[in-house]
Structure 1
Amino acid sequence: MTMTDQGFHSGFACFVGRPNAGKSTLTNALVGQKIAIASSKPQTTRHVVRGIVTEPDGQLILIDTPGLHRPRTLLGQRLNDLVFETWAEVDVVGVCLPCDQRIGPGDKFIIGQLAKLERRPLFVALATKTDLVSKERQLSHLVDVAGVAEELGIEWAQVIPCSATGGDNVEVVKEQLIALLPEGPMYYPDGEITDEPTETLIAELIREAALEGVRDELPHSIAVMIDEILPRPDRPEDKPLTDIFASIVVERDSQKGIIIGHKGERLREIGATAREQINRLLGTRVHLNLHVKVMKEWQRDAKYLNRLGF
């Protein structure tokens, strides 16, 4: 694809919404493969993951930002800065407003922040999670979606009800987002789905496994560092094995105990869950060697944050 090709649309979009509004799940559904980790815990997304969707008539590059929140730590502040930087650079912002929840102060806070942007992208309302509600509830939600735009002084370029898990209208979301992008070149080769390094994707899959079933105060304290990825020598070519050494980082000794669990049971569970996902990602068998490391109050320490890539 060259710069001169007419009718090819390309550009950048991101999804915003309060925690658990379906942003990462929708990103994965559009890309057709898991590249953004999804969890019921708030603040799951920390890295700007780019998902790449290429169609004959356009290329959509999705930027999966962290959720905007009132920060309590240096990490929180850095994540918010990342959100505002992203909003200023994209062509389209999709605001995820789940149908199974009323539009509340959290949603209005985010839309209000978007309304203040000097350089405004186009805004699309995505009424997510349609699979969880009746048609009547869906319709009343769409009336509320129209009302909140008017109240806060923005305009929706499109309003699309959809469900990433049910597959409802995912193709429509894809088509409409591409149609709203400016004409432009193909930024990535056809077939590429993300520009995230494999190492980051592996670390995120381990963190997702570690987040499952932990208590509320723990998710924010978990980070993952990949120490080494090595192909196992002396393996037959048709049966390769990759050794991955990784550290799950927490802030306190008590948290280390929770992650390891009774006689190491919890850590083994995390390893088994993550290994299955990493096998799928790499298309080869992996041996995952996990250990848990304490970095006291890392979320508030600039030195640790830099080391962990924030």
Structure 2
Amino acid sequence: MLRHPEYQYLDLIEHLLEKGSRRIDRTGVGTQSMFGAMMRFDLSDGTFPVFTTKRVYWKTAVKEMLWFLTGQTNIQSLLRENVRIWTDWPLDKYRKATGENISQDDFEAKVLADDEFAQRWGDLGPVYGKQWRRWVDANGKEHDQIATLIQTLKTNPASRRMLFHAWNVGELDQMALPPCHMTYQFYVSEREEFGEKKQIISMLCLQRSADCGLGVPFNSCQQAALLAMIAQQVDMVPGELIWMGGDVHLYLNHFDLAKTLLSREPRPFPKLRLIRRPDTIDGYRIEDFEVTGYDPYPAIEAPVAV
């Protein structure tokens, strides 16, 4: 019997607990870390790698990916979708700038209700979506990396230049958080089924900084959703999602979470079906994602390091 692919993730957790290098990190919380890791997930049968040893809020993850694809950088549109995962950074900036110890709920309510307040305090700087869709070069020309990728997949799928990334050195200091999942590369192969040739598209994502407790389960399922969307747009079959981590770490205040994960046996991954094909990559909505068979263990609460 094949080993459940989620054990790749649990093996990382176990390695970090037992052999991770203790480090003081940017947040001051501290981590146990390792350098270099890889996981591979076969999506060709509709598998959606949403980890099961704790509930992963896959809709929130996919909504964030859809937000990246719009090129937007303000949390107001995320909050309208009830996605609160980026609030910590502008909230921290607002508190430090004003000295006001405003609650997260009140801050988010002001961002939602007041466009002027949102414009001033809700913007994250030139984060992922800006770089993916509107990278500005030295001559002021904008580059839409996603559109270029899709066009290349359609016209030259053997290219070794099918990638996009967000590590814009000249704008890092303007970002609320430099990109963690920073480089996406694509690869197309062929296989024959019943006398018909099919093109298989695989995607590799390099994550320079990988929070194994909270971030990795969230990122891996949204990356799988991205691969499914792009495959549909270029009339290909999803192949493998290959996740690679650089600094892979476990925060010191996530040890209880990690031990609970290791005490649980993975359950079958769910399946994903896109129930509609929009005209472009820009047209997807959360309602287009039909996920069936997701039966995870309960969620585990853990703090986010800012």
TM-score normalised per structure 2: 0.28
Structure index of larger Rg: 1
Greater relative contact order (CA < 8 Å, ≥ 6 in sequence): 2
